[in-house]
Amino acid sequence: MNAIIEARGFGVSYGGSAVLRGVDLAIRRNKITAIIGPAGSGKTTFLRCINRLSDLAPGLGVTGGLSLDGRDVYATETDVADLRRRAGMVFAVPIPLPRSVYENVVFGPKLLGVRSRAKLDEIVERTLRAAVLWEEVKDRLNVSGLKLSGGQQQRLCLARTLALEPQVLLLDEPCSGLDPISTAKIEEAMQDLKSSLTVVLVTNNVKQAARASDRTAFFLMGELVEEGPTADIFTSPRDSRTNDYIVGRFG
Amino acid sequence: MRIPPKVVHYSVLTFLWAVTLGTVGTLCVIIGWVLVKGLPAITPGFLFSAPEGAGREGGIFPVIVGTLWVILGAVLIATPLGVGTSIFLVEYTRENWVTRVIRFGADCLAGIPSIIFGLFGYVFFVVALGFRWSILSGALTLALMSLPTIIRTSEVALRAVPPQYREVSYALGATRWQMVLRVVIPGSLPGIVTGIVLAMGRSMSETAAVIFTAGTVLPDSVPTSPGDSVRTLAVHFYLLAVEGLSEKNAFGTAAILVLSILVINVGAYTLMHRFLARYR
Amino acid sequence: MKQETAIRLILLGLAMSAVGALAVITTFIMKEGLPVIFRHGLGSFLFGTEWQPNAEPARFGVFAMIVGSAAVTGGALVIGVPVGLGSAIFLSEFAPRRVVTFFKPAIELLAGIPSVVFGFMGMLVLLPFIREHIGGRGASVLAGSIILGIMILPTVIAISVDALRAVPRSYREGSFALGATGWQTTWRVTLPAARAGIVAAVILGMGRAIGETMAVIMVTGNSVQIPRSPLDAVRTLTSNIALEMSYADGEHREALFATGVVLFVIIMCLNTLANAIARVGKRD
């Protein structure tokens, strides 16, 4: 099967008011799919439903179907902790835990019971390399994650998520607070990673979507307007609203 | 004639300065008085020898050890209960009738006078459960008294941990308990410890609740088991004072009490202050 | 998942400890104290003026103790409320920041001083002073009121400061914008807005004063009588229990628990009242 995430008629409401309505979307394996749309379009909500962080807010109601790798996300037997490992998330603001760079990266593996120092060392080096951070921090793995610069912190958060060995990487506006150089490094990491996993990138930056993604989905007011290859969306959108957004007429 | 508002303002301000200085001044006078009169009595001999003649002569070593036992026991019992309660309140539930009942219980417990705890400890631990006058009875009674302090302080500490840390732990595949154990508790530890330290201070200065539970018998040797009856510093001081046995030893004991409480409170305050500043 | 459920249940169990303790304490105090009240009649227990546990038949009337507790508590409020409220207003509205960072912990420290130390100081300093300069035998309602007035200060101040600080800054700014002085703003805007919390502070201070034991024993003389002047000695409900518990037995001991019941009911009423008032204040 080509799609790893499939939403069919998927809807979300909080305390009775609808945030997402009837979303039909298939996100393809080993591609970078960008989700764009103005504030309040429901794009972040959609992302947080994939790993069920949406559960943390009270009054959540879900309709329709959402599956990750063929398994229903909202089934009662879903192991939520396992789901969140399969769909790793990086947030808009980098939030290193108040501990060392090393301990930040091995947080997830240690929860799974990985104890071997050699194995942990290997994970730290591999994921920090994948997040284009290794060269900058390899000599100070024991300093607090909070001591790194903002761009480094975000890449640390990326490495920490990669240490979960996720199938899908959910990026929630990961570059919104970063300088162009850090942004380029994150985008570089995404390109290298897509051979082994699928990336879903929520972004407010239309240029980033055009630059870094293979496919683009456009959300507006809780609905999916259209989805297709990024080149098509940006050159010949089927829906006039997509065009309006891309050229900056609203949002 | 109407007094000009500015004049009223400055006269009132003077009054407010005066009463506040009076309050803090009273504190300084009490501490100063006890220390000036009591510090000379504190000698190695006084600290490390056993009392003689019902406390007229000799030192207070068994009393100090007994006090430490009772306080330690109280904290060991109250900490899991109190910290567990606050973890439940902050991490495992939303505000509903259950949390209201729990908070009501803690608030009421905080308001109960110590003499009532003393009566209860006597009839329940000493008599009904057959623990007699002992370190165990005293510690259990003080544990119940300390519970509200520990609950409240650790609740503040847990709530000070930024919510994003919880979100991050969940996103990294932590279960709720793993999140609590590895992120929330380490992040709030200094605040939780503050609550425990404050509870130790309260336990140390308590008299009415321990006098009927831990006993008043002045031991001539150091207590060795939780079943031994002890006399705590506060009780010892009270008896020396009202029975007029030895003013010098009374002052010495008072000075030790006040010094310990000074250290405990200043320590707790500094710890909490630094802790809260960390997340600001 | 099973493990999570188990942990939740364990924590819920721990969280029930405070309520559980409250229930057991209430049950045991009532069980020990109520029978003797019913045997002698509620009226004669509450309003009887004779306390003679060793007479034949024994007489247990706690009216003098109720009056004693009320007298020292009233006196404590007369002294403690103006000073406490004044300090609270100063710390929350007028004091420079540096002063607050030093004074607030100092006042918290005052709450930590053992009550026996207050009592001791009362005995050695206050009682001789009253005896020589005011009259009477020293140990008196007045002495108890002064000591308790100081002891309730931390409670009154802490809760009043919280209430005053909870008043939105915009209220004050609105008043200043109309040209009011600092005190006019406090008196006409801030204090009325914080009144519920301040009333709660006074009631909780009252609860502390009624419940205090050791310091009161040491300075009030403890004779069972209805005081006619502030210089008369009195015995409070709390002192009655603490003084006689060590040797009482049989019905006498039950009567001391009954004294505890009276005290317990008074305190519970005060705390409930304070909570209700504070809650109404928050809703406004």
pLDDT in tens, A87-127: 999 999 999 999 999 999 999 999 999 999 999 999 999 99
Q: How far apart are the first and last CA of chain C?
A: 43
For residue B112, which residues of chain C lie inside 8 Å, CB to CB? 22, 25, 211, 264, 267
What's the gap in Å between the CA of A241 and the closest CA on chain B? 33
For residue C275, pLDDT beyond 70: yes
A161 in reach of chain B (CB within 8 A): yes
Domain with C255, as residue range(s), is: 63-283
pLDDT at C284: 58
pLDDT in tens, A126-140: 999 999 999 999 999
Q: Is B8 exposed, middle or buried (0-12, 13-18, 19+ CB in 10 A)?
A: middle
In a domain, A158, yes or no: yes
Q: Are C40 and C103 part of one and the same domain?
A: no
For residue A58, pLDDT beyond 90: no
- C265 → chain B, closest CA residue: B112
pLDDT at A251: 46
What's the gap in Å between the CA of A144 and the closest CA on chain B? 14
CA dihedral C167, C170, C176, C178 (to 10 degrees): -120
Predicted confidence band at C280 (pLDDT cuts at 50, 70, 90)? confident
B255 in reach of chain C (CB within 8 A): no
pLDDT in tens, B21-80: 999 999 999 999 999 999 999 999 899 888 887 778 888 999 999 999 999 999 999 999
Which of C16, C29, C106 shows the shortest C-beta gap to B120? Answer: C29
Q: Are C185 and C261 part of one and the same domain?
A: yes
Report the C-alpha gap between A37 and A225 in whole angstroms: 10
> Do C125 and B30 make contact, defined as CB atoms within 8 angstroms?
no
Q: Which of residues 95-114 of C touch B (CB under 8 A)?
A: 95, 103, 105-110, 112-114
Return the higher-pLDDT residue of B98 and A177. B98
**How does strand A32-36 pair with strand A168-172?**
unpaired
pLDDT in tens, C137-148: 899 999 999 999
User: Mean pLDDT of all residues in chain C?
Assistant: 93
- In chain B, the percentage of residues whose pLDDT exceeds 90 is 79
B96 in reach of chain A (CB within 8 A): no
Residue listed under structure tokens 């006090």: B67
- C79 → chain B, closest CA residue: B19
In a domain, C58, yes or no: no
In a domain, A22, yes or no: no
What's the gap in Å between the CA of B279 and the closest CA on chain A? 11
Mean pLDDT over A192-214 rounds to: 93
B71 in reach of chain C (CB within 8 A): no
Report the C-alpha gap between B85 and B99 in whole angstroms: 10
> Do C11 and B92 make contact, defined as CB atoms within 8 angstroms?
yes
Count of domains for chain A: 1
Q: Are C27 and C74 part of one and the same domain?
A: no
What's the gap in Å between the CA of A233 and the closest CA on chain B? 31
Q: Do A153 and A73 touch, CB atoms closer than 8 A?
A: no
Q: Are C137 and C19 part of one and the same domain?
A: no
Q: Are C88 and C213 part of one and the same domain?
A: yes
> Do B170 and A84 make contact, defined as CB atoms within 8 angstroms?
yes
For residue A250, pLDDT beyond 70: no
In a domain, C14, yes or no: yes
> Do C112 and B202 make contact, defined as CB atoms within 8 angstroms?
yes
Top residue of A44, A93, A111 to mutate, by most chain B CBs within 10 Å, is A111
B170 in reach of chain A (CB within 8 A): yes
- B175 → chain A, closest CA residue: A81
What's the gap in Å between the CA of B227 and the closest CA on chain C? 20
In a domain, A131, yes or no: yes
Bridge partners for A68 per DSSP: A5, A71
Chains that touch A (3 or more CB pairs under 8 A): B
Report the C-alpha gap between A192 and B127 in whole angstroms: 74
pLDDT at C232: 94
Chains that touch C (3 or more CB pairs under 8 A): B
CA dihedral A186, A44, A46, A199 (to 10 degrees): 0
What's the gap in Å between the CA of B182 and the closest CA on chain A? 9
> Do B108 and C118 make contact, defined as CB atoms within 8 angstroms?
no
Count of domains for chain C: 2
pLDDT at C254: 94
Q: Are C69 and C33 part of one and the same domain?
A: no
Q: Are C97 and C198 part of one and the same domain?
A: yes
Report the C-alpha gap between C217 and C242 in whole angstroms: 8
Report the C-alpha gap between A222 and A21 in whole angstroms: 6
In a domain, C238, yes or no: yes
Instruction: Tell me how many residue pairs between chain B and chain C have CB atoms under 8 A apart.
Output: 245
> Do B19 and C87 make contact, defined as CB atoms within 8 angstroms?
yes
Report the C-alpha gap between A206 and A183 in whole angstroms: 14
Mean pLDDT over C197-216 rounds to: 95
> Do B167 and A91 make contact, defined as CB atoms within 8 angstroms?
yes
In a domain, C56, yes or no: no
- C121 → chain B, closest CA residue: B30
Q: What angle do CA C36, B134, B249 make, to 5 degrees?
A: 105
pLDDT at C283: 65
C76 in reach of chain B (CB within 8 A): no
Domain with A180, as residue range(s), is: 30-44+77-246
For residue C48, pLDDT beyond 50: yes
Q: What angle do CA B4, B10, B11 make, to 5 degrees?
A: 90
pLDDT in tens, B219-263: 777 888 888 889 999 999 999 998 888 888 999 999 999 999 999
Top residue of C157, C214, C222, C273 to mutate, by most chain B CBs within 10 Å, is C214
pLDDT in tens, B157-185: 999 999 999 999 999 999 999 999 999 99
- B88 → chain C, closest CA residue: C11
Report the C-alpha gap between B177 and B230 in whole angstroms: 40
Q: Are C25 and C151 part of one and the same domain?
A: no
pLDDT at B1: 65
Report the C-alpha gap between B148 and B202 in whole angstroms: 11
Mean pLDDT over B100-127 rounds to: 94
Q: What is the CATH number of the domain that holds C164?
A: 1.10.3720.10
Which of C4, C14, C90 shows the shortest C-beta gap to B85? Answer: C14
In a domain, A59, yes or no: no
- In chain B, the percentage of residues whose pLDDT exceeds 70 is 99
- C117 → chain B, closest CA residue: B254
C213 in reach of chain B (CB within 8 A): yes
Predicted confidence band at B101 (pLDDT cuts at 50, 70, 90)? very high
> Do B92 and C8 make contact, defined as CB atoms within 8 angstroms?
yes
Report the C-alpha gap between B89 and B74 in whole angstroms: 22
User: Mean pLDDT of all residues in chain A?
Assistant: 92
> Do B174 and A81 make contact, defined as CB atoms within 8 angstroms?
yes
Report the C-alpha gap between C245 and B213 in whole angstroms: 11
3-state secondary structure C227-273: CCCCCCCECCHHHHHHHHCCCCCHHHHHHHHHHHHHHHHHHHHHHHH
pLDDT at A176: 87
Q: Which of C150, C148, C131 is nearest to C231 (CA)?
A: C131
In a domain, A61, yes or no: no
In a domain, C232, yes or no: yes
C91 in reach of chain B (CB within 8 A): yes
pLDDT at C93: 94
Q: Which of residues 190-249 of B touch C (CB under 8 A)?
A: 201-202, 204-208, 211-212, 216, 234, 237-238, 241-242
Structure tokens at B22: 């009076």
What's the gap in Å between the CA of B116 and the closest CA on chain C? 6
Which of C86, C116, C256 shows the shortest C-beta gap to B234? Answer: C116
Report the C-alpha gap between C282 and C280 in whole angstroms: 5
A3 in reach of chain B (CB within 8 A): no
Q: Are C208 and C131 part of one and the same domain?
A: yes
> Do B172 and A88 make contact, defined as CB atoms within 8 angstroms?
yes
B162 in reach of chain C (CB within 8 A): no
Q: Are C143 and C175 part of one and the same domain?
A: yes
For residue B261, which residues of chain C lie inside 8 Å, CB to CB? 109, 112-114
Q: Are C13 and C118 part of one and the same domain?
A: no
Top residue of B2, B9, B20 to mutate, by most chain C CBs within 10 Å, is B20
Q: Are C67 and C19 part of one and the same domain?
A: no
- In chain A, the percentage of residues whose pLDDT exceeds 70 is 98
In a domain, C55, yes or no: no
pLDDT in tens, C91-107: 999 999 999 999 999 99
Q: Is C163 exposed, middle or buried (0-12, 13-18, 19+ CB in 10 A)?
A: buried
Which of A58, A82, A89 shows the shortest C-beta gap to B171? Answer: A89
Q: What is the CATH number of the domain that holds A178?
A: 3.40.50.300
